[in-house]
Each structure stands twice: as C-alpha cells, then as structure tokens.
Structure 1
Amino acid sequence: MTNRPPVLAAGIRAFPATRPDSCPFDPDETYTRLRADEPVSLVRCPAGMDAWLVSRYQDIRDVLSDPRLSSRAAGSDHMLPSYDGRDPLPGFMIQLDGEEHARLRRLLIREFTARRVESLRPYIQKITDQHTDAMLAGSSADLVQDFALPIPSQVICELLGVPYEDHAAFQRDSEVLTSFEADESARAAATRRLEDCLGELIEKRLVEPQDDMLSRLIARAAETGRPLTVQELSTLGVLTLVAGHETTANMITLSMAVLLQDPERMAALRAAPETIGTAVEELLRYLTVIQFGLVRYVTQDVTVGGTEMKAGEWVVAALPSGNRDESVFPDPDTVDLGRRARTNLAFGFGPHQCIGQQLARVEMQVALATLLRRLPSLRLARPLEQADFKLNDIVHGLRSMPVVW
C-alpha cells in the first residue's frame, strides 16, 4: 500500500482516508510522512473543497483554539460528498462560535462536571453488571450489540430523560447520522425522527418538569432571561444523544479488541485494576475514533505551522495524526498502558473540546474493568482480520464483535 496520496492538481493531494492492511487500529500511513516533511499540506476532501490538512500535535492545538478559525463546519462534514456549507441548526452547539456557542455550553456543562459524572459511577457499574450478567447466561455474545452499545445508550437516555425502550430506534438513526454512506435524504429523515421524538418530550417537560437534563436546561435558560426554543432544545438533545453513546460504544469495543491481541498486557491490567484510568487515556490516544479529524473555516488570515492561510479557506485538524506525533508521544504506534497520555487529542481541544469527555472516561473505565474482572477467559470468536470495521464513518469502530469465553 502506498503511503503517498495521489496528486490531483498542482500541490493538491487526495485526503488520506485509508488504513494500513497491517493494522486496522492505525491511521492512514500518509500521516507519518506528512508530519515529517509536509505538516501543513493541501488536500481535496470528499466534500469537494480543498483544505489545509494539519498533522502535527501542536499545530492541531493551535487550529482548534484560534478564534479566527470558525467551527461553522465542525465535526467531519468535509467528508460528506453532499455537504453544501449550510448554516447550522439553532442549538447545534458544535457548529457555533463565540458567545452563541458559549451560551449553550454554559447551560450544558453542569451536567458533565467531574463531580457530577463521578456520582454516576455506581449507576454505570450497576447497568454494566446487568449486561455482563446477561452475557454470562450464555457462552458467547456480540460485544457491540450486547454490551458496548447498550451501556452508554442507557446512561445517556437516563440523563436526558428519554425512555430507554426507544433506544433501538435512536441507535439506528445515530448510525445513519455517523455514516458517510447514507445519502442526504436518509440523513435528513433520521434527524427529523430524532427531533420529532425529542420535541414531543420537550413539550411535556415545559409543562411538567422532571429530574432530568432537559428539564434542568429549560430551567437554567429561563433563569438567564433567554429561554431555549423547542428547536434549540431538540437539537441539543439530538447532539447529546448521538455523541453521548456512539463514540464511547466504539471506544469500548475497539479497546477490548486491542487488549485481546496481547494476553500478557491484558493480564497485567487485570492484576492492577487501579491503573485502568491511565490505560484508558492511552487507548483514547492510540485509537482516536474521530478518524477523519475536525474541519474549520478561516475567517481572518492566519498562519499555522509556518503556512499562511487566507480568509475563506478550510483547515482540517487531523486528530489521529496528532495523537501519533513522535515529538509528543515516543514510539506512538505502540500501545503503552503505562504512558501518561492525558494530553491526547481524542476529545479535541480548545473551546469546543468534547463536553462529555469525563462521562466517556468513566464509562470506559467501568466497562473495561468489569470485562477484565468478570470474563477472564474472554476471546474473539473469529480472527480480527475478518472483523467488519467502520472504515467510512465519522467514528471508527466495529459493526459487530463476536466473542466467547
């Protein structure tokens, strides 16, 4: 496999979006060369626009923290062939800038403080044990459908106040929204279904508040003198619902796939459960499931990594490449569960850094530690080479992962 994307025009290359045959956990091999020789390079994205691809750790942090680089297209819309530069929906926090973004973040962040999330650990452990009990009733399972997906899904439904019996429909629509293979009509329909469902719930909470996130958001916004509209609440709810389980579910599955490749490493972690927090940070760094990075729009001329960028241009912060930067993480392609990797870019950086990162960490810690403790003989039911990886989704992961014990 070549490690150099084809030249499409003078100085422009195709966006690096493949994974090496040798390891499905590694990002495109092109990034190693780019970090060394061309850390800010011009590429053509699947959405059709040309963009500056930033591949070094520090340059990525600079991109994500510079207010001159707008998040109006945050996320991974540069990978969508149907992207048309449309304005973000009201309440779509990850695509808003400045005070408009900060207002929503202030309302939401109290739900995800370290103290608040830590108070949820017993509940997360309880439902993790329930799903583990269900698995142990047999001798095999699909770790994705029977464990990794339902746990964060149930947690986020509980927080939002969404009936958990609706989780299967939510998960199906979430899969559509995070896949680049779905066409625009399918994505629009999935968004509409989620918004309609949450809209009905929000209308009820406006009349009869409950002890849930949606009710608290309504109350907090009212206290500021600028109530949230139903559209804003619905969009925030969809964003929280999708982001709140997709990334964590895929991280749990991929992390176990990585651990199962090295029984000695897994045994060492099982023998020292107090190190699970450090291990999770290294797995977040190594896997970086937001596999195509985050895109920004240049609103004022700016220089990044010695390259001048003009207003109106696009920039992609390649998170997986930054987390494999040799100058920050020695021997970056090796999993070192003792590495101090808390500064990894898995949750982004700057004002848009993932608001639910503490919840994701605790869910991963509980899920992985429980599997290690309660299923010591856990192993893959088929070789990893036969696994169905999500190679064309916003979030890297596995569609299924049959396991036995």
Structure 2
Amino acid sequence: MIEPTDLDEAGDRSTPPLINDIRAPGPVARARMLSGDVGYAVTRAAEAQHVLCDPAFSSAATFLPRTPAEPQEPVGSSRVLFEMDPPEHTRLRRAVAQAFNRRRVEAMRPGIAEVVDGLLDEMAADGAPADLVRALCAPLPLTDICELLGVPREDRDSFRGWAEAIMALRGHSPQEIDRARAAIQRYFVELVAARRAEPADDLVSELLTVRDREEPITGPELVRLAITLLIAGHGPTMNQLARSVYALLTRPEMYAALHRDPDLVATAVEELLRTVPSVPVGTPRLALRDVEVGGVPIPAGSTVAVSALAANHDPALFTDPEVTDLGRTDNKHLTFGHGPHFCIGAQLARTEMRTALAALVRRFPDLRLAVPPEAVQWRTDSLFHGPLELPVTW
C-alpha cells in the first residue's frame, strides 16, 4: 500500500522520482490512509479534478462517526465549510465569498504590506539568528485574518493554539481537540453577540448584515463560518510561506534570482505553491455510490484522497514538471483545490505570500539557513505541513 506520508516526504525532500514512483501504478491506486483505512489515492490532474467536482464524492460523509455508503441523515449542519457538501456548502460559501474577492483583497494590500514591514522590522531589530516561522510566517496570516474578523490583538495567541489543535492529525488527544473546538466556539458566540449589539468595521459585522437581510443563515452557522475562516486563513498560509522560503534557501540561486528580479515574485509564488504545497494530500472524500475514476472502479463507501503534490507534477498538465521554474506562467496547479471547495481565501493567501517574499528578498538579500537543511524539523501532526521552526541568519 502507498502511505500518504510518502507523498508528504516527497514534498519536503523535493524528490520528484518518488512522486513518479507513486504515480507509476496509474492515476488511481489503492492506498492506506493515516486513519489506517485502505482507500484510493488520486495522483493525476484530470482524475483529481474529476473527484473534486463530482458530487458522488462527499466531504460531509467523511466526517460522520460511521461512514456508510449513503448518509442516513443530512450532514454538515454542525460542520465547518470544508466538512460540508452542496447545497448547504454553496449557501454558506456564497455568504462569505464577497469578503475574499479580488477587489476586497487588493484593498487589503497596503495593510498587509504594513504588517509584513512591521514584523521584519522586529526581526531585524532582534538580530540574527531568527526563527522565521515565529517572526513572520505564523503572525502574518494570523494577524490578517484576525483583523478581517475583528479579533482583538490580545486574543490572537490563543487562536493560534486552538486552530492548530483542531487541525491536528497526531499529537493532540481527542479531549484536547474537543476543548479547542469548544473554546473557539465560545469565543465566536460572544464576538457575534457583541457585534450584533454594536457593529464594527469587520467581517463578522458584515456577515450579520447578510444573515439579517439576505441569506437564511443561523447564528450557529455564522459562528462556524468564522471558525472556518480562522483555520483556513491561518494554517495553510503559515506553512506554505515557511515551506516556500525553505525551498528557496536550500537553492540559494533561486533566492538570489528573486532579489535580482523582484518581478519574478508573482510567478515564483505560483511555482512554489505547485512544487511544495502545504497540503500535499487534501481532505478525503467518501464515495456515495459505485463510480469509476481513471478506469479504476471505486466501490461505494470507499475513502478517496487527492494528492495535490502528485497532480501538480503531472506531465500531461505541466511541461518539465520536475523542474522548479520561477518564471513559469502557465501554472494551473491544484494546490488551492478545484470545484466547489476551491480555497475561498486563495487570493488573500497569494497576496500575503507575494508581499512577504518581495519584502524578504528586498530587505534581506543575504538571508540563509542558520542550520543544515536536514536539521530543520517538520510538522507531522497536522493536515498542514511545514517547518516547526525555520532558523535563518543574514
């Protein structure tokens, strides 16, 4: 069986031959999931897009206590967005989509740049060496999403701990995860009540207006939307930024190329999203009926996981997929997903990464790892994969 951890190691170690080994059995292969269940891994782009768009594959059913071929009752009503299916998912996603459209995110760009510059000012003042995860990669997306939601500064450290516990695969007990879920829910229940009494210039207040005037969204659903945005707006970007900088610093010529030509940053971000995704294997789906993908029969009740990492190296979609080309322009990677669950915060994540990398290469042209690459410790207890710490010097 192919362990999903093999896919993760391929991303961390940048070993395309391993990716090719995983794809060798075909676009869909039997695989053992982290849960221990045997399911199917999808490793080619066309088949990945099929699974991510086909309603025969359910996100919501995956999160039931037991996973029958057909859900016995409507699911998702107590779930966050990535644990839902249409039409419930569509209704709630529509309510929040405007907050992350291109125009809204573009208006946030000066504020994001200000946050980045402030964090880098502190890093420079503290001096080398520094942990780039603590100095930049973690606080940047957390600050931005908390600003968007209207969460006060003094509460943000707690939010980071809660979000990491909720998304943990290992390292946290079920009781710790339940406590984190309860704590974050209590917080947002109180925040929603406060904003209903006294609206502010933030997304929670805006969503309350939508709830009251346009869409039939309940108060608990509004709380869960806020939880979704916190988790999805923090963990993936934190790890993606750290993984990307690690990839650049282990190939210093790439980092130097960005310093010489800052115009490369936009395409470089897309290429790093393609080659070192922070979510190498996406949230599994459950097959609700017998279905065929890539010529492989998948029985009802089977768990199916899409490997963005492998699909992003599909030669049918990318020229020379094993080559990291910072100037690649035709880059239809699947790191943000595809179909109904395409990452709602993709534009914000792109803006954060572009702003952070542009500032790093401008202000720290001599940035380099402060430890050997193999000494960097990787996060293995979460759906989001990245360095636990990234020691750098300059």
TM-score (norm 1): 0.89
CA RMSD after TM alignment: 2.2
Instruction: For residues 306-338 of structure 1, give each alpha carbon's deviation from its aligned partner in whole angstroms, at most 9, with x where no partner exists.
Output: 112233222111111111222222332332101
**Aligned match of 2:174:** 184
CA offset at residue 251 of structure 1? 1.2
Correspondent of 2:43 among 44, 55, 64? 55
1:22 to 1:295, Cα distance in 2 relative to 1, 3 A: closer
Q: CA deviation at 1:26?
A: 3.4
Letter in 1 for 2:154: E
Judging by fraction of residues, say which structure has more helix. Answer: 2
Which of 364, 377, 385 in structure 2 is aligned with 1:388?
A: 377
Could you list the runs of 5+ residues in structure 1 that have no partner in the other structure?
A: 1-12
Whether contact under 8 Å (1:378, 1:403) holds in the other structure is: yes
Which of 197, 214, 227 lines up with 2:204 in the alignment? 214
Name 1:252's counterpart in structure 2: 241
Deviation at 1:260, TM superposition (A): 1.1
Bigger mean CA deviation after superposition, 145-154 or 89-98: 89-98
For 1:114, the aligned partner's letter is: R
Of the structure 1 ranges 35-44 and 346-355, higher mean CA displacement relative to structure 2 is found in 35-44
- 1:186-233 deviation per Cα after TM superposition (whole angstroms, max 9, x unaligned): 11111111111111111111222211111111111222251422x212
In structure 1, the residue corresponding to 2:60 is in which secondary structure?
coil
Letter in 1 for 2:263: E
Question: 2-side partners of 1:392 and 1:192: how far apart?
Answer: 20
1:323 corresponds in structure 2 to 312
Q: Which residue of 2 aligns with 1:367?
A: 356
Query: 1:19 & 1:300 partners in 2: Cα distance?
Result: 27
> Separation in 1 of the partners of 2:324 and 2:77?
39
Query: In the alignment, is the contact (CA less than 8 A) between 2:60 and 2:83 conserved in 1?
Result: yes
Instruction: Sort the Cα spacing of 1:44 and 1:225 in 2 relative to 1 into closer, same or farther, 3 A.
Output: closer
Paired with 2:223 and 2:265, the residues of 1 have a C-alpha distance of 35
Q: Could you tell me how far apart the structure 2 residues matched to 1:196 and 1:342 are?
A: 41
- Residues 191 and 221 (structure 1), Cα distance of their counterparts in 2 relative to 1, 3 Å cut: same
Deviation of residue 173 (structure 1)? 1.6
For residue 14 of structure 1, report the CA deviation from its aligned partner: 4.7
1:238-317 to structure 2, matched below 5 A, reads 238-317=227-306
Amino acid at match of 1:186: E
Q: Which position in structure 2 is the counterpart of 1:10?
A: none
Report 1:90-101 matches (<5 A).
90=78, 92-101=80-89
Whether contact under 8 Å (1:14, 1:43) holds in the other structure is yes
Shift of 1:20: 8.5
Q: Which runs of 5+ in 2 are unaligned?
A: none
Q: Corresponding residue for 2:125?
A: 137
One of 322, 331, 351 as aligned partner of 2:340: 351
1:18 shift after superposition: 3.1
**Structure 1 residue 65 displacement after superposition:** 0.8
Whether contact under 8 Å (1:180, 1:392) holds in the other structure is yes
C-alpha separation between the residues in 2 aligned to 1:242 and 1:300?
31
* Match among 82, 91, 109 for residue 121 of structure 1: 109
SS of equivalent residue, structure 1 residue 167: helix
The residue type equivalent to 1:222 in the other structure is D
Contact 2:195–2:204 (CA<8 Å) still a contact in 1? yes
Deviations for 1:343-399, whole angstroms, at most 9, x for unmatched residues? 101001001100000000000000011000011121111111101111342111011
Q: Mean alpha-carbon deviation: is it higher for 153-162 or for 292-301?
A: 292-301
SS in 2 for 1:173: helix
1:106 is matched with 94
Report the CA distance shift for 1:88/1:99 in structure 2 as closer, same or farther (over 3 A): closer
2:212 is equivalent to residue 198 of structure 1? no
Q: Do 2:39 and 2:303's aligned partners in 1 also have CA atoms closer than 8 Å? A: yes
Structure 1 residue matching 2:41: 3-state secondary structure: strand
Quote the offset at 1:34 in angstroms: 3.6
SS in 2 for 1:294: coil
Relative to structure 1, is the Cα distance of residues 274 and 17 closer, same or farther in structure 2, using a 3 angstrom cutoff? same
When structure 1 is superposed on structure 2, of 379-388 and 332-341 the one drifting more is 332-341
Give the alignment's TM-score, normalised by structure 2: 0.92
Number of residues of Structure 1 aligned to a counterpart in Structure 2: 386
**1:228 maps onto 2:209 in alignment:** no
AA partner of residue 168 (structure 2) = S
Please point out which of 28, 39, 43 is paired with 1:40: 28
CA drift of 1:30 comes to 5.2
TM-superposed deviation, 1:25:
3.9
Q: 1:24 to 1:48 in 2, by over 3 A?
A: closer
Query: Which string of whole-angstrom CA distances, capped at 9 and with x for unpartnered residues, describes residues 58-104 of structure 1?
Result: 10011101122112156xx7xxxx97559545351112112211110
CA distance in 1, matches of 2:374, 2:154: 34
Structure 1 counterpart of 2:55: 67
